[in-house]
Structure 1
Amino acid sequence: MEWMLMPLKRYAEFSGRSRRKEYWMFFLLNMIVLFGLAIVGGILGAFTPSATGEMGLGSGLILGLFGLYALAIFIPSLAVQVRRFHDQDKSGWFVLLGFIPYVGGIVVLVFMCLEGTKGKNRFGDDPKMSDNVGDVFN
């Protein structure tokens, strides 16, 4: 669970490096939360319009929660992605590849799956070293 919450503890920290485990556990946490919100929205009937075509109170509530969650999670998601690029000894500006239509997301996905550089690089120590992992929680 601490790997899932680590990007939230390092909320706007764009320096340093992050392991694949940190990135993908945070991604898993986001999917669980979004799936949970979708289930609650489905139970409340938030995604089905009424006979008049208007959306009900439940839909406004769920869509509002989706929006608030997206706003709250935007900066940590961007920061952990930048740190993943740093782990591969690449500039954090590579995040902008995700804005290229059609292929950008696939390219970023591939980079997020690649292993980082072993040992120290220009962005800091290797996060896989056991003595560096605990520093975040102290």
Structure 2
Amino acid sequence: MNYYLEAFRKYATFSGRARRKEYWMFTLFHLIATIAVTVVDWVLWSPDSWLALLYFLGTIVPALAVGVRRLHDTGRTGWWYLIALVPLVGAIVLLVFTCLDGDPHLNKWGSNPKHDELGGGYDAPYPGQYPIAGQPGAYGQQPGQYPAPGQYPAPGQYPAPDASPYGQQPGQYPAPGQPGPYGQQPGQPGPYGQQPGPYGQPPQN
């Protein structure tokens, strides 16, 4: 019902985007209301009553507007609505367009309304982007987790175990550029005067 009322709040708004749920929920309640008004027209008044006609005239603009916004959501201009004027085939093509999922990315008519309703206001990431609000990123990482699992470095690790050039675990000797276990700096002798091994291994006794 909220989507039906939303169409009237955007009475003549032909800009922006409308997701499938918004369009089809409006269409459903619009159909129910049309049937109800027609029945009331017939029962309480007469077949010549103007009640159904007045309802049709009052809703034609928001119905067209939400249809145009639905086409925008699929990345198509609202002028595609005119294809409905083509006998038979045009109505089928327009039906297919309104059933398609919307463009997950930002397009020239605005951001993805599906993600806006989730409260994030973000668009779906292209491959490699990180990530929309509340959803895993392109590589499976959860919100707040950076970088993707297995990438260098993992949170709180330096370096990541599977990404370290020397294979050392966090806290092991030494991370590149950090002191060794005896306090010596990289390139300095060990506690007994021995030179550090290549690649920063502990000094040999």
The interval holding the TM-score normalised by the smaller chain is 0.7 to 0.9
Q: In structure 1, what is the equivalent of residue 96 of structure 2?
A: 110
Q: Partner residue of 1:119? A: 105
Which residue does the alignment assign to 1:136?
A: none
Partner of 1:4: 4
Cα offset, 1:39, TM superposition? 2.7
Structure with a larger share of its residues in helix:
1
Task: Using the aligned pairs only, state the percent identity.
Answer: 43
| Partner Cα distance (2:23, 2:51) in 1 | 23
Instruction: Give the partner amino acid of 2:95.
Output: L
* TM-score for both structures, normalised by structure 1: 0.79
CA distance in 1 between counterparts of 2:16 and 2:53 reads: 29
Number of residues paired by the alignment? Answer: 118
Q: Deviations over 1:101-136 (max 9, x none)?
A: 11111111111100010021111000001225xxxx
Kindly state the Cα deviation for residue 42 of structure 1 after the two structures are TM-superposed: 4.7
Q: Distance in 2 between matches of 1:11 and 1:38?
A: 22
The match for 1:14 is 14
User: What secondary structure, in the 3-state scheme, does the structure 1 residue paired with 2:88 have?
Assistant: coil
**Contiguous gaps of at least 5 residues in structure 1:** 45-56, 133-138
Alignment of 1:1-138 (within 5 A): 1-44=1-44, 58-61=46-49, 64-129=50-115, 130-131=118-119, 132=121
Residue 2 of structure 1: CA displacement?
A: 1.0
CA distance, structure 2, for counterparts of residue 41 and residue 68 of structure 1:
11
Q: Write out the 4+ residue segments of structure 1 that deviate beyond 6 Å after TM superposition.
A: none
TM-score, length basis structure 2: 0.55
Q: Is the 8 A contact 2:70 2:98 kept in 1?
A: yes
Aligned-pair distance for 1:43? 3.3
Measured after TM superposition, the shift of residue 66 of structure 1 is: 1.3
